[in-house]
Structure 1
């Protein structure tokens, strides 16, 4: 099955973009809740994730980002990337690869960067339907927050479809 992809923003031929690859993670705990991050400063929700370091494996990047942003250790599910989001914004061309993962341990504290602390990032575990409602109802106070909201709703929708397919097969 082909990976679903969507483009956000419009490529401007007169802009020289900084290239970046990133990961996003839809992580489930044993209760079926997912990890969701709230960015207090700009009033939006996002999936855990971030940039892939040079030479870093995408799966390892997904696990690292989950650990950094939530303190959680996860196992990324078989089957690989479930969806990609290509973004053109503010001189950035980013491709985000989305994975589904399962929680193994959440006993560690997050290790947020100074920027993430300034953004007021906090994670929580919510039922999938509540996470989707929270994301949809958020009213971001920045263009970046609005962009992230649109991207992550798309990725969460794709993960929901994949999760539903897996349940129907089992």
Structure 2
């Protein structure tokens, strides 16, 4: 799978110290120029549905599980690999200095029944929910949050916006779905 970009958070000066390794799988779900994203009120941003995959869990199994939890989809079909982001950022747990996150993105189709969303407690507390949004609006929104350096801004917004821009250029701008 192609490497889209390697990111280093501004507070990461070197890769020394204890590092937590995390893989994630995220779905790119399109309907014309609309894209299914997760809006999170706490961070005021749009991100791709998906999330962390256990160390011994297959990426596709993790992707299907995450999409079912976050969107309620009971049927998911992976159409193609899109790429991955390799990033390093500070870890919030004191026993680690860094988190090394590899986020794998896949173009998917899902059913549109969102009745069975099963968000985790922290996702509910953060005000997260699935939403269809025009991809250009999502990009513009995330760019504005980053430009204003909103105090609530989360770590993932840069990664998510990079991939949104690439999806817009390669999948929507190219006229494919």
Alignment of 1:83-122 (within 5 A): 83-90=83-90, 91-122=98-129
Q: Which runs of no fewer than 5 residues in structure 1 stay unpaired?
A: none
Q: CA RMSD in A?
A: 2.4
Counterpart of 2:43 in structure 1 is 42
Counterpart of 1:5 in structure 2 is 4
Runs of 4+ residues deviating >3 angstroms: 164-168
TM-score, normalising length: structure 2 = 0.79
Counterpart of 1:66 in structure 2 is 67
C-alpha separation in 1, matches of 2:18 and 2:127: 31
Contact 1:75/1:104 (8 A) holds in 2: no
- Aligned pair count reads 163
Q: 1:12 offset after TM fit, Å? A: 2.0
The change in CA–CA distance for 1:7 and 1:112 in structure 2 (over 3 A counts) is: same
Q: 1:32 offset after TM fit, Å? A: 4.6
The change in CA–CA distance for 1:105 and 1:123 in structure 2 (over 3 A counts) is: closer
Higher helix share: 1
Contact 1:20/1:51 (8 A) holds in 2: yes
Q: 1:77 offset after TM fit, Å? A: 0.8
- 1:141 paired with 2:140, answer no
TM-score, normalising length: structure 1 = 0.82
- 1:23 paired with 2:31, answer no
C-alpha separation in 2, matches of 1:15 and 1:142: 27
